[in-house]
């Protein structure tokens, strides 16, 4: 593990001088990768990485996955309680009304090269949304809530439009009468999804909505903490989520599963070969979970159901054998990206769109974190340890 820690002067690992008003010199703590560092308070989610527990604002993820929709979870994250029927109806109506893209943003998507990385296209379009939002730089809590809603409503439209345009099809206007899951699958595929596909996708959205101070959320809060705007912050967060060590892992998982399928090897041998070659197996391991990610437990059941229903049993069998081999060989467990990849694949979604779906859902968590950040803002500004040279003297340019 790349973690190093040096402490001065208290030396006990606690940041005793975290209070802004303190004038005494701050103890310096060094932890590469900020592992185990608590940077702020949040009411949004809690992860117990030892037992595999995830809570959104007091509710266990399994309970939420079984008994709520993505929109109810969005409301919970933004407002701090689950909505009643009238509140949910109002939120749904607001999301539906905001789903359509400004025409200029559609034009931006039309000019994106068809081989562009979908996360790059999404990052660009989300950034462009700011240019057509008169409230983009309004920092009031009311405007920020409306922007959170708008961003959540429009992200699915961007993803679907990008995908259709790159395939030479026309982008479809949102139906504006259904759930996020329903409208997204309709705009992507050009036909309304069945109830089962809609519900499966909706559960995926619930599972990906929020996850503490992960890399993209942290990136977003760092930007927000400078008192920059919500669009800038979520654009930065999208950039962080794109990375294969974070949200980009779900695409890498599918590539791995397809490679296994072509290889003719058993999943066990396939994993053993990868480990012998010192390769990382994508979709495994986590900075916080040291046991099975509770979202992976739910997604594994979904893979089982879908693979039986669709006669594609191999995705479940591969997944379980890979999981057992990784646990036996390395003591490492699947994370959310491992089983979600097969779910999206069986729902007929193109592999390279998987991380954009993660974004679609996480937009709620990011925006909730930004609202929380601005309710008690403090600039986030850690330090680096200087390891470069000293005492060099500038040699005039024509003598270098
Ligand atoms: N395959 C093989 N070995 C692994 C893996 C893996 N996926 N993950 C961790 N390890 C090993 C690693 O080689 C190291 O071993 P050693 O101590 O012998 O050198 C040990 O486990 C600790 O790894 P680390 O990289 O120091 O741990 P980390 O906390 O920095 O890494 C991680 C967390 C998620 C970056 C890492 O587990 C990883 O690269 N996983 C694959 C990518 C992935 O699935 N990312 C999605 C993360 S969860 C969802 C999300 O945030 O998007």
Alpha carbon distance 229, 143 (integer Å): 11
Which of 133, 183, 293, 337 is an active site residue? 337
Same domain, residue pair 235 and 164: yes
- 31-72 tens-digit pLDDT: 999 999 999 999 999 999 999 999 999 999 999 999 999 999
**3, 35, 285, best to mutate for ligand 1 pocket (most atoms within 8 Å of CB):** 285
Read off the pLDDT of residues 352-397 as tens digits, 9 standing for 90 and up: 999 999 999 999 999 999 999 999 999 999 999 999 999 999 999 9
Tell me which residue range forms the domain holding 112.
53-245+363-375
Residues 198 and 261 in one domain: no
pLDDT tens readout for residues 153-195: 999 999 999 999 999 999 999 998 899 999 999 999 999 999 9
Q: Residue 368's domain is classified under what CATH number?
A: 1.10.580.10
Query: Quick check: is 192 in a domain?
Result: yes
Give 217 Cα–ligand 1 centroid separation in angstroms: 19
Q: Are residues 231 and 282 in the same domain?
A: no
Whichever domain contains 259, its CATH number is 1.10.230.10
Is there a catalytic annotation at residue 337?
yes
Residue 162 has phi, psi (to 5 degrees) of: -55, -45
Residue 161: closest CA among 179, 181, 187: 187
Q: Cα-atom radius of gyration of the chain, to the nearest Å?
A: 22
Q: Do 127 and 233 lie in a common domain?
A: yes
Residue 26 lies in a domain: no
Q: What is the pLDDT of residues 220-270, one digit of tens each?
A: 999 999 999 999 999 999 999 999 999 999 999 999 999 999 999 999 999
pLDDT at 132: 98
**Whether 342 and 369 share a structural domain:** no
Does this model's pTM top 0.85? My answer is yes
Measured by CA distance, the residue closest to atom 8 of ligand 1 is: 285
> What domain count does the chain have?
2
Q: Which atom of ligand 1 is closest in space to residue 287's alpha carbon?
A: 29
Q: How far is the CA of 245 from the centre of ligand 1 (A)?
A: 8
For residues 179, 163, 124, 183, the Cα torsion angle rounded to the nearest 10 degrees is: -10
Does residue 177 share a domain with residue 309?
no
Residue nearest to atom 47 of ligand 1 (CA): 246
Asked if 333 and 292 count as a contact pair (C-beta separation under 8 A), the reply is yes
Of 385, 139, 390, the closest CA to residue 147 belongs to 139
Clarify whether residues 92 and 212 are in a common domain. yes
Measure CA of the first residue to CA of the last residue in the chain; give whole Å. 40
In this structure, the answer to whether residues 200 and 179 fall within a common structural domain is yes
In this structure, the answer to whether residues 169 and 262 fall within a common structural domain is no
Is 239 found in the same domain as 161? Answer: yes
* Same domain (yes/no): 165, 305: no
| Closest atom, ligand 1, to C-alpha of 211 | 51
Q: Are residues 300 and 198 in the same domain?
A: no
Position 398 pLDDT exceeds 80: yes
């Amino acid at each position: 593990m790349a973690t190093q820690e040096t402490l001065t002067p208290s030396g006990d690992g606690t940041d005793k001088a975290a209070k802004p008003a303190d004038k005494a010199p701050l103890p310096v703590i060094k932890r590469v990768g900020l592992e185990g560092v608590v940077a702020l308070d949040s009411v949004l989610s809690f992860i117990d990485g030892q037992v595999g527990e995830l809570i959104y604002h007091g509710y266990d993820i399994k309970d939420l996955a079984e008994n709520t929709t993505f929109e109810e979870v969005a409301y919970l994250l933004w407002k701090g309680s689950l909505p009643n029927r009238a509140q949910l109806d109002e939120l749904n109506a607001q999301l539906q009304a905001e789903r359509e893209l400004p025409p200029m943003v559609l034009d931006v998507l039309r000019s994106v090269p068809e081989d562009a990385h979908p996360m790059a296209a999404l990052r660009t379009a989300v950034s462009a949304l700011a240019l057509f939002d008169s409230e983009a730089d309004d920092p009031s809590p009311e405007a920020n809530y409306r922007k959170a809603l708008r961003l959540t409503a429009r992200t699915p439209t961007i993803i679907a439009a990008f995908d259709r345009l790159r395939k030479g099809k026309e982008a479809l206007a949102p139906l504006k009468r259904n759930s996020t899951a329903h409208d997204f699958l309709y705009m992507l595929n050009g036909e309304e999804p069945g109830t089962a596909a809609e519900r499966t996708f909706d559960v995926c959205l619930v599972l990906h909505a929020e996850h503490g101070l992960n890399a993209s959320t942290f990136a977003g809060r760092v930007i927000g903490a400078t008192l920059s705007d919500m669009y800038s912050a979520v654009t930065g967060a999208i950039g962080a989520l794109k990375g294969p060590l974070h949200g980009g892992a779900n695409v890498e998982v599918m590539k791995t599963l397809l490679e296994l399928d072509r290889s003719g090897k058993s999943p066990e041998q396939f994993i053993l070969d990868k480990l012998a070659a010192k390769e990382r197996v994508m979709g495994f391991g986590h900075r916080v979970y040291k046991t099975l990610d509770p979202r992976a437990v739910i997604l594994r059941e979904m893979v089982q159901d879908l693979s039986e229903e669709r006669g594609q049993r191999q995705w479940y069998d591969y997944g379980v054998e890979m999981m057992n081999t990784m646990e036996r060989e390395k003591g490492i467990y699947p994370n959310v990206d491992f089983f979600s990849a097969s779910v999206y694949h069986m729902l007929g979604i193109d592999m390279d769109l998987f991380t954009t779906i993660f974004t679609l859902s996480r937009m709620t968590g990011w925006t909730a974190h930004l609202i929380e950040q601005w309710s008690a803002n403090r600039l986030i500004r850690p330090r680096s340890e200087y390891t470069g040279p000293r005492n060099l003297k500038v040699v005039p340019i024509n003598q270098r």
